[in-house]
Structure 1
Amino acid sequence: MMSTHIDFHLALQAATEAAHYGAAVLMSYFNNREELMIEYKSHNDLVSQADKEAEKAILNKLTQLTPDYAIIAEESDKQTRPNAIATWYIDPLDGTTNFLHGIPHFAVSIGLVAHKGTILSPGISPLEEDTPIVSVVYDPNREELFSAFYLGGCQLNGQRIRCSRTETLEQSVLATGFPFRDFSFEDEYDPTFKAAIHRTRGVRRFGAAALDLAWVACGRYDGFWEFRLSPWDVAAGTLLVREAGGTVKDLYAQHAWPVTGNIIASNRFVFDEFLDMLKPSLNTPT
């Protein structure tokens, strides 16, 4: 019989083990990239056997340890067990372009989202909306494991972390991601970038959204925004920031978490100012 509540510790253990298994596959290929077979899904959208084999290792571990939960993964792009109480969102290699070019900035991202109506623990009211509840983002190059579970705080390698305490946008360093394969929203994004470079201490673009969010969670960045990501890019990072005391929202205020990949995240002190800076450039979503 399928469980009606979430075992947080089991889920976090499963995600942690799965992330290490996936990362081991990635690192085995990283120094032998010339041997990789690369497929072009679309313009600037690449996948290699490293992505696919890492995803397979992650799926095998999660299926073994948490068989009741659904899974949505980037490379398989299909959902198992659609009526499950929670769904894993998996990106086996966030930062594929970095990986393929030998840039040591990429991660495994695994997030568990509990669905509306789920009972997180006995005696607690069911969730009123879909909610990220377990997260692991693992950076194998730095051996940094970011993890969190709902109302349990956020950790980096077992030590509690929190968002920065920067109080103004003028003092903030932000992260972002440029349009790189879908340019349909370029006219909407460009004014936000122009505003940010004029109103902040600086803007960084490192090419791995899961790590951008993890770095907001540990205070390296004060905020992050991007358009049109995929749910597996942001599911884990959303919870990391929230559990580190920050705020994460859907840019268009349409969803409980940024499932459509339109995301703004920051510490709680600069969030309102940050959002006010972006709002004038936002179109009404279709």
Structure 2
Amino acid sequence: MQGSANLNIMIKAARKAGRALVKDFREVENLQVSVKGAGDFVSRADIGAEQIIRDELMGARPTYGWLGEESGATEGADPTRRWIVDPLDGTTNFLHGLPHWAVSIALEHKGEIVSGVVYDPAKDEMFWAEKGAGAWMNESRLRVSGRRSMIECIFATGVPFAGKQTLPATLQDLARLMPACAGVRRWGAAALDLAYVAAGRYDGYWERELNAWDIAAGLLLVREAGGLTGPVREGYDILGKGAVIAANDQIFASFAKLIRDA
């Protein structure tokens, strides 16, 4: 893979954490007899993976800031750069033995995501992008789909659960979208949903109530693959509000209008 020194550091960290998570994933099936035990185990796996990534990234770039799902925010000596990390996106899938989860690492520079990695260890698919250099999966260049008709498109989302406030809005979205498209998928890993839009596997994706570490790397993947991204509510900051719409450039306007017409 050809990339910057920072990107190579990110890829190395993602692979190292991925190897540890794959070993833990093999143990999950043995823990299903005890929900509490499995949940505790996965929490330890999540925290352990973040520590691996933090050691790799901060060891190489000790002046950068940090924002991680498990460890929170740390300001760096260099205030212009920070790592944004989700060590295990798709934790519920992991807990249930479903092989659809990922490591997500982004580098932010002066408020803009400039490098991103989403690694799916179960399938050994490394999605990566740098600003201005395109998006890739392993050695293959990525391009969003070219579909122009909504009725031919497949979309992805996350359906709110466990008391999240945006369930009514999402159900309304589905009521408007389902008759107008070829299908909606809910696979439970936001980082991979965005990576799949970049790869042309999905034509579009939207979701609310996300965190910056869920989507930072994936947003860059979509943009560098020729897609468009925007907030669910126009004028809002995507990372700050955690509500995103992403799609290929052909159907973004139609798709965004449908989601925003609540």
Is TM more than 0.5 here? Answer: yes
Letter in 1 for 2:60: L
Structure with bigger helix share is 2
Q: Would you say 1:138 and 2:141 are equivalent positions?
A: no
Matches of 1:189 and 1:52, distance apart in 2 = 30
Matches of 2:89 and 2:120, distance apart in 1 = 10
Letter in 1 for 2:97: G
Say which SS state the counterpart of residue 133 (structure 1) adopts: strand
Pick from 155, 169, 180: which aligns with 2:161? 180
Matches of 2:227 and 2:240, distance apart in 1 = 18
Q: Would you say 1:38 and 2:19 are equivalent positions?
A: no
Number of paired residues?
254
Matches of 2:42 and 2:243, distance apart in 1 = 23
Question: Which residue number corresponds to residue 5 of structure 1?
Answer: none
TM-score, normalised to structure 1's length? 0.85
CA contact (8 A) 2:63 2:78 kept: no
- The two structures, once aligned, show a CA RMSD in angstroms of 1.7
How much has 1:253 moved relative to structure 2?
A: 2.9
Distance 1:212 1:82, change over 3 A: farther
CA contact (8 A) 2:42 2:95 kept: no
Q: Would you say 1:103 and 2:104 are equivalent positions?
A: no
Matches of 1:82 and 1:263, distance apart in 2 = 30
Identity over aligned pairs, percent: 38
Letter in 2 for 1:181: A
Matches of 1:188 and 1:216, distance apart in 2 = 22
Matches of 2:63 and 2:131, distance apart in 1 = 19
Pick from 74, 81, 84: which aligns with 2:76? 81
Distance 1:37 1:201, change over 3 A: closer
How much has 1:181 moved relative to structure 2?
A: 3.2
Matches of 1:76 and 1:242, distance apart in 2 = 28
How much has 1:259 moved relative to structure 2?
A: 3.3
Say which SS state the counterpart of residue 113 (structure 2) adopts: strand
Matches of 1:263 and 1:71, distance apart in 2 = 22
**1:141-152 matched pairs, under 5 angstroms:** 141-152=122-133
How much has 1:223 moved relative to structure 2?
A: 0.2
Q: Deviating runs (4+, > 2 A) in structure 1?
A: 34-39, 253-260
